[in-house]
Amino acid sequence: MNTNAQVAQYASFAEISPAALRRHGAWDAVLRNATRSAALTVLIVLGGVIVALVNGSLPALRHYGLGFLTSTAWNPVTEKFGALPAVYGTVVTSLIAMLIGIPVSLGVAIFITELCPVWLKRPIGTAIELLAGIPSIIYGIWGLFVLAPFLQRDVQPLLISAFAPVPLLSHLFAGPPYGIGVLTAGIILSIMVLPYITSVTRDVFETVPAVLKESAYGLGCTTWEVVRNVVLPYTRVGVIGGIMLGLGRALGETMAVTFVIGNAHKIASSILAPGTTISATIANEFSEAEGDLYTSSLILLGLILFVITFIVLAAARYLLLRLETQAKA
C-alpha cells in the first residue's frame, strides 16, 4: 500500500462519527456475549450429561460398589452384573484399531503430501473424506456379510495354524474360526478411524514450511529421512491430536461393533473369540432392561465409558502440553 492510500485510509478512520463508533462497539459486545454463551452452553451440556450419568448409576453403585468393575458376571435373571468383559472388549478392540489404523493413516498422509502425483491427490483425498461419511451401520453390515466370512474362511485358519507353535501367540490366536469376534471388530474400527487420523495428519503435514524440506533434500536426505527428521518432529503435536481423535472415535463406536463382535459377556484370551464392548452392551440391552438395577447397571457402564474417554483425552492433552513445553525450551 502506497503513502497516499495510507493517508486516505487514516483519514477515513478519522471521519468515523461517534454514533458509528458506538454501533461498532455494540456489535463487538454482541459478538463477545454470543461466543461466551456458546462456550458456557457446552460446559452446561457436559455438566448435565455427567449429572445424569451419575444420578442414573447410583443404584448400581450402591448395590455392587467397586466390585462392579472387577466382576465378569452378566445375568439379567439373577440381577448380577459386572463391567469387566465390556471394559476389556472396549480397550482391546480400540487397541487393535489403533495398531492397524495409525500406520496405515500415516502412510496415506505421507504419500499424499510427499509422493503422490498432483493429479491423484484430489481423488485420494475425496475417497478418504467419503469414508468418514459412511454411516456406521453400513460398516457393520459390510463387516457381517463380507469381512467376517472372509476372515472365517481364509484368514483366521491361517492365523491359528501359523501361531500354534508360538507359546504366547498360540493363546492369542486360538479357538475355532468364528469369523465374528474381537479381531473383526478391531479391523472394522481401524477402517472407521482411518479417515479421521489421515485427514488431520495430512493437513498438519502440509503446514511444514517448504524451505525446511528443500533444505533437507539439498543436504542429500532421502524422502524417508525428510519425513522422519523434519516432517514428523515439526508436526508431532498435530499428529498426536489426530490419533487421539481417532481413538475417541474407536472407544465410542456402537453399531458397527455390535454387528461383528459377537456380543458375548466373557473374557477370552483369544482375540478370535466373540466378546462385547460397553457401547455394544448398552445398545443391545437398554431397550429390554427391566428393573431399576438392570437399567442402572447399563447407565453405570456409560459412566465408565465416559471416564475412560476422559482419562484418554486428559492424558493426550498432558502429552501435548509436555511436547509444546519441550519445543519452546
pLDDT digits (tens, 9 = 90+) for 256-270: 999 999 989 999 889
- Predicted local confidence at residue 290, as pLDDT: 83
The rounded distance, in Å, linking the Cα atoms of 105 and 193 is 9
Q: Does position 3 have pLDDT exceeding 70, yes or no? A: no
The rounded distance, in Å, linking the Cα atoms of 275 and 85 is 7
CB 193 within 8 A of CB 247: yes
- Predicted local confidence at residue 45, as pLDDT: 94
- Predicted local confidence at residue 300, as pLDDT: 93
- Predicted local confidence at residue 16, as pLDDT: 62
Cell of 138: 453400513
Q: Write the DSSP symbol of residue 286.
A: G
Per the document, the length of the chain is 329
Q: Tell me the C-alpha to C-alpha distance, in Å, between residue 267 and each of 70, 263, 290.
A: 12, 11, 25
When pLDDT is averaged across residues 152-172 and rounded to a whole number, the result is 90
Q: Does position 50 have pLDDT exceeding 70, yes or no? A: yes
Average pLDDT along the chain: 87
pLDDT digits (tens, 9 = 90+) for 12-49: 545 566 777 677 777 888 888 899 999 999 999 999 99
8 Cβ partners below 8 Å, 6+ apart?
A: none
pLDDT band at 272 (very low <50, low <70, confident <90, very high): very high
When pLDDT is averaged across residues 292-299 and rounded to a whole number, the result is 91
pLDDT digits (tens, 9 = 90+) for 196-235: 999 999 999 999 998 989 899 888 888 899 999 999 988 8
Q: Which residue is it, cell 472394522?
A: 188
Q: Which residue is it, cell 455438566?
A: 47
The rounded distance, in Å, linking the Cα atoms of 124 and 51 is 43
Q: What is the DSSP string of 87-143?
A: HHHHHHHHHHHHHHHHHHHHHHHHIIIIIS-HHHHHHHHHHHHHHHHS-HHHHHHHI
pLDDT band at 57 (very low <50, low <70, confident <90, very high): very high
Residue 86 C-alpha from the chain's centroid: 18
pLDDT band at 87 (very low <50, low <70, confident <90, very high): very high
Cell of 324: 509444546
The rounded distance, in Å, linking the Cα atoms of 239 and 245 is 10
The rounded distance, in Å, linking the Cα atoms of 278 and 88 is 9
